[in-house]
Amino acid sequence: MSETILVVGGTGMLGEPVARRLQADGYRVRVLTRTPAKARARFGPGFDVVAGDVEDLPSLAAALRGCDGVHVNLAGGPDPDLEHRGTANVAQAAARAGVGRITYLSGASVFEENCWYPGTRAKFQAEAAIRQSGVPYSIFNATWFMESLPKLVRGNRAFVFGRQPHPIHWVAADDYARMVSRAYATPEAANKRFFIYGPEAYTMREALTRYCAIVHPNVTVTSMPLWLAWIIARLGGRAELKVVLPFFRYCEQVREGGDPSEANTLLGAPTTTLEEWSRRYV
Ligand SMILES: NC(=O)c1ccc[n+]([C@@H]2O[C@H](COP(=O)([O-])OP(=O)(O)OC[C@H]3O[C@@H](n4cnc5c(N)ncnc54)[C@H](OP(=O)(O)O)[C@@H]3O)[C@@H](O)[C@H]2O)c1
């Protein structure tokens, strides 16, 4: 009988490709969500959708019953520590349920020295909670996903907030999802942190310009200084900007870290270029 993997946050932008890839690779996939009706409509009958909340321990225990693995894809939005609390709850429940592997999407800049930023601190503490649980783990320290680029387009403008001078190895979610699935079938992938980088490095402005040239040829890429974006956020009541601007300030200062070679050797390197990925949307 095939193994069952619970995907916490399987409805997320980066959780859904993992859920679908695991299912395509022959795993039985259970998706945990706070809104099961919506998820059932999206995933269809090939997936087992269960109601649950990472802050509700009984719901986690029930969802993990009979599971061989659990993948965690969490975003706390305005409450960054949710990712830490929720992942710790999942890891403890997974240990009690005798789950054989936990996989978790962290970030490529998650190091102790960057924990001054709350989102990074939550991920750093989530990783620690996973290690402390004793459940064999594979942690994915992924860089920026190409899937983030469409979110920077608004009307006929695409915005880069701040200077964003650092090159980024943009990765496609499908490549990452394949690597997560491969980790479940690879015993040597246990108890490792994997740095996930795509094949090419571009600054944020370069990547956005390339993406827009193919998918949104009428869109103008605009760099906006952070101070001006803050004024617009305050005067225009743009609540979503107030959440993302601190992240852009963080990205101005912090680079990708780690070495992707072990991930590439064990799990197969990402191959999708930004141009190939963008052409899927034309
Ligand atoms: N974008 C990038 O380039 C990038 C790079 C590296 C790492 N990451 C990280 O990847 C992670 C996931 O990103 P994403 O874009 O997939 O986020 P997303 O689309 O916002 O999805 C977040 C998921 O979290 C689940 N969730 C939130 N609160 C929950 C709760 N209390 N109980 C159960 N589930 C809960 C949601 O499930 P329901 O709403 O269905 O309950 C949803 O599926 C984030 O931590 C992000 O920082 C992103």
Contact present, 223 and 165 (Cβ < 8 Å): no
Reduce the DSSP state of residue 260 to 3 states and report it: coil
The residue whose CA has the least distance to atom 25 of ligand 1 is: 9
List 220's β-bridge partners, or say none. Answer: 157
CATH of the domain at 118: 3.40.50.720
**Residue 191 C-alpha to ligand 1 middle, in angstroms?**
23
**Residue 164 C-alpha to ligand 1 middle, in angstroms?**
23
Average pLDDT over the chain, rounded to whole? 97
Residue 219 in domain: no
Residue 81 in domain: yes
Q: What is the distance, to the nearest Å, from the Cα of residue 235 to the centroid of all Cα atoms in its chain?
A: 31
Q: Which own/partner contact pairs does 117-121 have at CB distance under 8 Å and 24+ positions apart?
A: 117/246, 117/247, 117/250, 117/254, 118/80, 118/81, 119/80, 119/83, 119/247, 119/250, 120/250, 120/254, 121/80, 121/81, 121/84
Per-residue pLDDT reduced to its tens digit, 246-255: 999 999 999 9
Contact present, 48 and 65 (Cβ < 8 Å): no
Ligand 1 atom, smallest distance to 54 CA: 32
Strands 201-202, 168-169: pairing is antiparallel
144 lines ligand 1 (CB under 6 A): yes
Mutate to test the pocket of ligand 1, among 73, 110, 127, 170 (most ligand atoms within 8 A of CB): 73
205 lines ligand 1 (CB under 6 A): no
Residue 116 in domain: yes
Q: Which residues, including other chains, have CB under 8 Å from residue 161's CB and lie 6 or more apart?
A: 224, 226, 229, 244, 245, 248
Residue 159 in domain: no
DSSP at 41: H
Least Cα distance to 62 among 71, 73, 70, 51 occurs for 51
CA angle 52, 55, 56 (to 5 degrees): 55
**Residue 9 C-alpha to ligand 1 middle, in angstroms?**
6
Residue 140 in domain: yes
How far is the C-alpha of 114 from the C-alpha of 34, rounded, in Å? 31
Per-residue pLDDT reduced to its tens digit, 108-120: 999 999 999 999 9
To the nearest whole percent, how much of the chain has pLDDT over 70? 100
The residue range of the domain holding 128 is 4-145+172-197+256-270
Ligand 1 atom, smallest distance to 108 CA: 6
Residue 158 in domain: no
How far is the C-alpha of 119 from the C-alpha of 109, rounded, in Å? 11
**Residue 160 C-alpha to ligand 1 middle, in angstroms?**
22
Q: What is the distance, to the nearest Å, from the Cα of residue 164 to the centroid of all Cα atoms in its chain?
A: 20
261 lines ligand 1 (CB under 6 A): no
107 lines ligand 1 (CB under 6 A): yes
pLDDT at 216: 97
Reduce the DSSP state of residue 39 to 3 states and report it: helix
pLDDT at 236: 83
9 lines ligand 1 (CB under 6 A): yes
pLDDT at 1: 64
pLDDT at 68: 98
E-strand stretches of the chain:
4-8, 28-33, 48-51, 69-72, 101-107, 137-142, 153-154, 157-161, 168-169, 192-196, 201-202, 220-224
Question: What pTM did the predictor assign?
Answer: 0.98
Least Cα distance to 183 among 173, 170, 174, 193 occurs for 193
Residue 162 in domain: no
Per-residue pLDDT reduced to its tens digit, 155-201: 999 999 999 999 999 999 999 999 999 999 999 999 999 999 999 99
**Residue 173 C-alpha to ligand 1 middle, in angstroms?**
13
140 lines ligand 1 (CB under 6 A): no
Residue 122 in domain: yes
DSSP at 12: S
Give me the number of domains the chain comprises: 1
